[in-house]
Amino acid sequence: MTRLEDRRTLVSEIASACAAGARLAPACRLAGLDLRTFQRWRASDGQVQSDLRPEAIRPRPQHALSEVERARMVALANEPRFASTPPARIVPALADEGVYVASEASFHRVLREHGQMRRRGRARLPRTAGPPSTHVATAPGQVWCWDVTFLPARVQGR
């Protein structure tokens, strides 16, 4: 989206170029605008219009989930058998029972809106591994280590 001030500047520059004898389409092309965009920006009275998309009234799609369906999805996800299960496992488990509530993406979206897409159940949060604290080197040649993963052995993988 182009700010109203930038639109006004571009329109005035193009208008001054046209007043000096330039044709409108090449002037718009040189400014990086399509001719139709320039025409749309200017209203019938010659004033520059702001972008109307943020204020546009968008109707709710007819196939959108109702509040009852959303509440049912949250209730299903909070049942004891699904309390620690992600939506990727809830939807197939319900499908095995012959029940279809919504798609996996819809489950993700609704649970995220209700703040339930963090860790579900008793699983612990992942811990970040810090630097080792047992061996600390304060000068060169004090701590040595050896990687034993590539030692030759008779049995592969051991």
Domain residue spans in the chain?
A: 4-41, 67-113
User: What's the average model confidence in pLDDT over 29-58?
Assistant: 87
Count the helices and strands in the chain (H runs, E runs): 6, 0
Stronger pLDDT, 20 or 142, i.e. the higher one: 20
Nearest to 64, CA basis, from 26, 13, 113, 125: 113
- CB of 25 closer than 8 Å to CB of 33: no
2-6, 68-72, 111-115: which has the minimum mean pLDDT?
A: 2-6
- Is the pTM higher than 0.85? no
Q: What is the pLDDT of residue 42?
A: 86
52 band by pLDDT with thresholds 50, 70 and 90: confident
What's the chain's average pLDDT? 86
- CB of 87 closer than 8 Å to CB of 108: yes
